[in-house]
Amino acid sequence: MSNVILEGIFLKRSQQKKKTSPLNFKKRLFLLTESKLSYYEYDFERGRRGSKKGSVDIEKITCVETVAPENNPPPERRIPKGEDLSETDIIERFPYPFQVVYDEGPLYVFSPTEELRSRWIHQLKNVICYNANLVQKYHPCFWTDGQYLCCSQTAKMAMGCQILGGKSFRSGRCLLKPDKPLPPTPEENKMMKKQLPPEPVPGGQSRTRKVVALYDYLPMTEQDLELQKGEEYIVLEESNESWWRAQDQNGKEGYIPSNYVTETKDSLEMYESLNPLQFALGTWLLLAAYFKDRSSFPTPYPTHEMLMMSPASKFQGKDGGFIVRDSISNTGKYTVSVFGKSSGDPQGMIRHYVVCSTPQNQYFLAEKHLFNTIPELINYHQHNAAGLISRLKYPVSSQQRTAPSTAGLGYGAWEIDPKDLTFLKELGTGQFGVVKHGKWRGQHDVAVKMIKEGSMSEDAFIEEAKVMMNLSHEKLVQLFGVCTKERPILIVTEYLSKGCLLTYLRDTRRSLQGTELLEMCKDVCEAMGYLESKQFLHRDLAARNCLISEQGVVKVSDFGLSRYVLDDDYISSMGSKFPVRWSPPEVLLYSKFSSKSDIWAFGVLMWEIYTLGKMPYERFSNSETTEHVTKGLRLYRPQLASERVYAIMYSCWHEVRRRQPTAEILFARIQ
Ligand code: ADP
Ligand code: MG
């Protein structure tokens, strides 16, 4: 079987039955590969895949789209109006339908969350984008009781009644991206390569690609090019994934960090696009802040407006502050929320404008001003109020955007000059010796590992460091470079102010919320999905090797480093420092490391998170743990972990053949 791209549990509507009844909806495990979308029975008790119930050939798919929610869902899936349901209750009702249309008609699949639905639609669109038989029209509503609810046609194969793509603001169908870009899977990487051939233009040159800087960047080497936030640049060469050669508007050329820029034309990243879930989460945070500030609000506003106007809100009463977000009431559309003051209303108010589209796929906020893309529309309204409460002056963000780390301190700079380093305080001592907080060129925070002589096979590490420098992901502790000309050698990495995750979990006096714990697991999962896509094994994933940033983001550290440790106690699986408690049976018995052993460790790390830093198998010695684990016994469910969360960690501890194949898939399930 070819590689699994996605795996997830959805509700599937039976295609055979003439009349729809509640019995026609079944929970199935769906697997997406490059050639098939298959669904299976799923044993929830054991967390196991059951027998195959059916599949659709990818090449036969003609369309993948959302479906308008049913008017009359069966009672167990209905979300009663006015009733306050918990997030879990909503998830259990699978309220987000989508359709996979193929030569036998539409297959209706119901997703527990909107985020998961867009992720699947995105991936499905990616795998079908070269199908010969894609259609341009589809049915936005269900085929129910013998007819389509949108157009009343009675033939299941009847041609669609609505043109596709009205809601998408990206031009190329194959280039649809989820709101929050996820690390590409190997399949995606392959596909992106397939999808982006250099387009020849008359004259035989490649078409130029323009990008916009998301952050300022000051050159760190002579070969770098300065970036100014909001300015446009032409990309000249992308052979290095992290550093692109680019040209600014004055014709100056140099290397830029690729994670500091975004596509010009079709990106809303500049304005922060929030999906409703993130929006709701932000709302809770603001709500908490609001209750502290209650006295300053004389009148009750509708909830989210009130929240956005709170002093705690990022709008902060700034006239013309705006965000672009997914619409809450109009699924699939975008809303621009603007804060504005007028002479009659000095306190100011928030107005929400849904981005409307014409049948010709043009967009408008205020009529008469039509645009081909949403960014063009935003751009226009940044200069003209044209009917809005204020022109769009300041894009505001729910999080302070801090510039991400670059892969190294400048293009090609992996050897760092120790004279550029100044040392501040000592952070701790690890396997290789002391770790210090420092500054690079007096400005950039860094952490420096001072490698104790005899603790590392240095030459082998220095060789590997060049590879590790190119691993760059927001959830990985970035390796900036090494100083190898003097002894001790130094390893310079990104600095994370809140230190080690394990200590953070143990010391944290305030009780960590369930959502925070899950977020931590998701952070690690994203990093591991990325490492796996690069075919890079961590080999020592555990809470002690994760760090926490100032903003509370968990990042994975020390990946691959264990290979260079010179210490028998650490290397041998019988040794006292070997991470026995994080290792699967195949490592303990035959030293067989693989991405599956990293996944086992990820499960144990989830367990550490949900026990707030307990020692796994705390009553056992290392050798008792080995015996226990190889016999098939596993860690218990932590009190803070729901059955659902425990099922995820438990699935990491299946025997190697049945263990989840990729961290990426776990990530899809965790959402
Ligand atoms: P080693 O991996 O060499 O055994 P560690 O990575 O465990 O060493 O480092 C020792 C301690 O130093 C950690 O527990 C942590 O508190 C601190 N530390 C290490 N790296 C960083 C960093 N990048 N930012 C902040 N603190 C760090
Ligand atoms: Mg460590």
Structure confidence by residue, pLDDT tens digits, 355-392: 887 777 788 887 678 888 777 788 788 888 888 888 88
Q: What residues have a C-beta under 5 A from ligand 2, the ion?
A: 430, 545, 558
Atom of ligand 1 nearest to the CA of 561: 2
What is the CA(480)–ligand 1 centre distance, in A? 15
Would the pLDDT of 271 be above 90? Answer: no
* pLDDT per position as a tens digit, 283-295: 222 222 222 232 2
Would 209-270 and 418-494 be classified into the same CATH topology?
no
Share of the chain above pLDDT 70, in %: 77
Rounded to the nearest angstrom, the distance between the alpha carbon of 88 and the centre of ligand 2 is 36
Q: What's the fold here for domain 4-163? A: PH-domain like (2.30.29)
Minimum CA distance residue for ligand 1 atom 9: 430
For residues 87 and 95, the answer to whether their CB atoms sit within 8 Å is: no
- Residue 634's pLDDT is 96
Of 540, 568, 569, 598, the active-site residue reads 540
Distance 475 CA to ligand 2 centre (A): 16
Which ligand ends up closest to the CA of 451? Answer: 1
Give every CB contact of residue 475 below 8 A, 6+ residues apart in sequence.
523, 524, 526, 527, 530, 553, 554, 555, 556
Pocket perturbation via mutation, ligand 1, pick of 479, 500, 565 by most ligand atoms within 8 A of CB: 500
pLDDT in the model for residue 609: 96
Q: Which two tokens stand for residue 237?
A: 């060469």
- Residue closest via CA to ligand 1's atom 22 equals 495
CATH topology assigned to domain 209-270: SH3 type barrels. (2.30.30)
- Mean pLDDT: which of 9-13, 326-330, 356-360, 616-620 is highest? 616-620
> If you take atom 26 of ligand 1, which residue's CA is the nearest one?
499
Each domain of the chain, given as residue ranges in start order, spans 4-163, 209-270, 276-287+302-395, 418-494, 500-670
**CATH code assigned to 276-287+302-395:** 3.30.505.10
pLDDT, tens only, 134-177: 887 889 999 888 889 888 888 888 888 887 764 332 222 222 23
**pLDDT greater than 60 at residue 305:** no
DSSP track, 290-336: HHHTGGG--SPPPHHHHHHHSTTSTTTT-TTEEEEEE-SSSTT-EEE
Helices (H) and strands (E) in the chain, counts: 15, 30
Atom of ligand 1 nearest to the CA of 496: 24
Whether residue 199 is predicted with pLDDT greater than 80 in this model: the reply is no
Q: Would you state the pLDDT for residue 290?
A: 26
CA of 193 to the centre of ligand 2 (A): 35
Smallest Cα–Cα separation from 412: which of 466, 483, 356?
Answer: 466
Give the N- to C-terminal CA distance of the chain in Å, as an integer: 26
Tell which atom from ligand 1 comes closest to the C-alpha of 557: 6
For ligand 1, residues with CB inside 6 Å are: 427-432, 435, 447, 449, 477, 493-496, 499-500, 547, 557-558
Select the more confidently predicted residue: 60 or 194. 60
Residues of each annotated binding site for ATP: 449
Q: Is the pLDDT of residue 611 over 60?
A: yes
| Nearest atom (ligand 1) to Cα of 431 | 4
Token pair for 444:
């950039």
| Average pLDDT for the chain | 79
pLDDT of residue 126: 81
CA distances from 301 to 305, 306, 309 (A): 6, 5, 9
Check whether 561 has a pLDDT greater than 80.
yes
> Which protein residue's CA is at the shortest distance from atom 12 of ligand 1?
428
| pLDDT of res. 295 | 28
Q: How far is the CA of 244 from the centre of ligand 1 (A)?
A: 31
326 is catalytic: no
Query: Atom 19 of ligand 1 has which residue's CA nearest to it?
Result: 435
Mean per-residue pLDDT, 191-207 = 42
Q: Which ligand is nearest to the CA of 478?
A: 1
* Superfamily of 500-670 according to CATH: Transferase(Phosphotransferase) domain 1 (1.10.510.10)
Closest among 472, 517, 516, 465 to 494, alpha carbons compared: 472
Are β-strands 48-57 and 147-148 bridged in parallel, bridged antiparallel, or unpaired?
Answer: unpaired
Q: Which CATH number fits domain 418-494: 3.50.50.60, 3.30.200.20, 1.10.10.10, 3.40.50.720?
A: 3.30.200.20
Give pLDDT tens digits for 65-123. 999 887 777 777 777 666 666 656 677 788 889 999 998 899 999 988 887 888 889 88
Of residues 488, 479, 499, 543, the one with CA closest to residue 517: 543
pLDDT at 18: 61
The CA-based angle 262-268-274, given to 5 degrees, is 125
